[in-house]
Structure 1
Amino acid sequence: MKHLKTSTVPQTDAEFPVIEELLAGNERFRQNEFQEQYDRYSTIARQQHPKVLWIGCSDSRIQSGHITNAQPGMLFIHRNIGNIIPVQDWNFASVLEYAIIHLNIQDIVICGHSDCGAIKALDGDIDSPFIQVWLNNALEAKERVDATLASPATPEERKNRLRCIEQENVRLQIEHLQKYPLAKKALAGKKLQIHGLYYHLDTGLLEKIQ
C-alpha cells in the first residue's frame, strides 16, 4: 500500500469556517478510507466504468452512493431540483449521450424521495422565477394525482398526496427520458433498462416505483 503524504490543514479561518471544515474532512478521508482502499482509488483514478446512470434530486439529505452502499466508480450521477428530465435539455442530453455511448451504461435510475421541496413548491407561488419555470417539467405529475384523489382534509391525507405526486413525478420523468432519440434507440435494441426508485428519508428505505 502506498502511504500518502500528510498535508497541512490550515487553521480554521473565521471568515470561511465551512470551507475549512470541508478541507479538514478531506484530510481525514485521505488518511483513513482513501489509504485503506488505495488500490481501488488508484484504479478508478485512471479510468471509470460505472454501471448505472443515476438521476436524482439535489436535496442535501440524499447522498446517492451512501443510500445504496455503492462504491466510488459505480454510479454516474446527474442531480437537479426535483430529479427532473426536461424533454429538451442540452445539459441532460450531454449526460445521457456520454453515459450510453462513451461509458456503455445499460441501466438508468430515476430516484425521487419523500419530503421533496420541489414537489411542495408545485402547490405554491414562490418568488423564484427560474425555479417556477423549471418545475413546469413536473407539473403534469401533480395534475395526474389531483385528478384521481379527493382534496386532502387531514395532515395524513396531505402527506399521502405529496408522496403520490413525488412518485408520479418519477413515472413522468421516465416518460420524458423515453422521448430522447438516443434512449429510445437503446431501449428498442434491448441495450438499456430504466428503473424508477423512491427513497424514504424517515426510514432509509429505497423502493421500486411500479
Structure 2
Amino acid sequence: MIDQFLEGNKIFIEKDYKENREHYLSLSRSQSPKTLWIGCADSRVAPERITNANAGEIFIHRNIANVVPVHDWNFASVLEYAVAHLKVHNIVICGHSECGGIKALDKDMPDSYIPLWLNNAIEAKTRVDARLPPPKTTEEAKQRLTEMEKENVHLQIEHLRTYPLVKKAESEGKVKIYGLYYILETGILEEIK
C-alpha cells in the first residue's frame, strides 16, 4: 500500500504540483483557509474531493460520525486554532449517507472506545425515535437512518455553539455555521437547514 501512495505522489507532482507550483510554494509559507470542515473519518467522504476545493482552502477535522465533542482537547485545539488564529469565516459540519457511526447507535458493541465516542451522538437517535414510529420496511429503516444522520448534524451544531469562542465569533458576525449532508449514492452535497 505504501508503494501505491508513493507512486500516487509522483503522479500528483507531475499532474498537479508542477502545474500549480506557485500555489504550493505559497502554501509552504502559510495557510489561510476560509472554512473549518468538521466531517466524518469515512474514507468515502474526502472534503477536498466532494467540494472540488484546492489545497489550502479547507482546514479539516475528521472523526467517527462528524462529532463535535463538548469536552475533548483534540477537537477544542483544532477549533481554537481555526477560529482564533486562522480566522476562518465558516464552520461546516458535514454528515453523510450510510454513516457507520450513526448505524452503530443501534448496536450493542463490544468495543471499548467507539461506544463512548458515540455517546456524543446518541441524542440524535433519541430525537428521531421520538418523531418516527419503528421502521417496518427496509425503506423505512433507510429513511430513519437518513433522519438520524441529518439530526446528528443539527446536534453537533448545538454542541459547537457551546464553545465560548464560537458563540463570540458568531455573535460578532465573524463566523457562519453550516450543516451539510453528502449523499454517497449520488455524489450530491446538500445544505441542511
TM exceeding 0.5:
yes
Instruction: Identify the residue that residue 193 of structure 1 maps to in structure 2.
Output: 176
Query: 1:57 matched to which residue of 2?
Result: 40
5+ unaligned residues in a row in structure 1: which ranges? 1-17
| Corresponding residue number in structure 2 for 1:40 | 23
1:23 maps to 2:9: no
Which is higher, the Rg of structure 1 or of structure 2? 1
Paired with 2:171 and 2:16, the residues of 1 have a C-alpha distance of 41
Q: For 1:106 and 1:172, how far apart are their aligned partners in 2?
A: 21
Looking at structure 2, the residues matched to 37 and 192 of structure 1 have their Cα atoms a distance apart, in angstroms, of 30
Question: What TM-score results when the alignment is normalised by the length of structure 1?
Answer: 0.91
Q: TM-score by structure 2 length?
A: 0.98
1:176 aligns with 2:159: yes
Which has the larger share of helix? 2
Aligned mates of 2:55, 2:133 — CA distance in 1: 44
1:88-113 deviation per Cα after TM superposition (whole angstroms, max 9, x unaligned): 11111101110111101121000000
Write the letter of the residue equivalent to 2:79: L
Q: In structure 1, what is the equivalent of residue 64 of structure 2? A: 81
Paired residue for 1:140? 123
Distance 1:68 1:21 in 2: 24
SS in 1 for 2:66: coil
In 2, the alpha carbon distance for the partners of 1:52 and 1:65 equals 12
% identical aligned pairs: 57
Paired positions, count: 193
CA distance in 1, matches of 2:81, 2:90: 13
Relative contact order, higher structure (CA 8 A, sep 6+): 2
Where structure 2 has 5 or more consecutive residues not aligned to the other structure, the ranges are none
Per-residue CA distance 1:58-117 (angstroms, 9 max, x = gap): 000111001001111100000000000111111111011101111011210000000000
Q: Which residue of 2 aligns with 1:8?
A: none
Alpha-carbon shift at residue 127 of structure 1 (Å): 1.7
Question: Once the 2 structures are TM-superposed, how far is the Cα of residue 31 of structure 1 from its aligned partner?
Answer: 1.7
Residue identity in the other structure for 1:71: N
Structure 1 residues 154-207: Cα deviation after superposition (integer angstroms, max 9, x where no partner): 000000000000000000000000000111111121111100000000000000
Identify the match of residue 49 of structure 2 among 66, 69, 85. Answer: 66
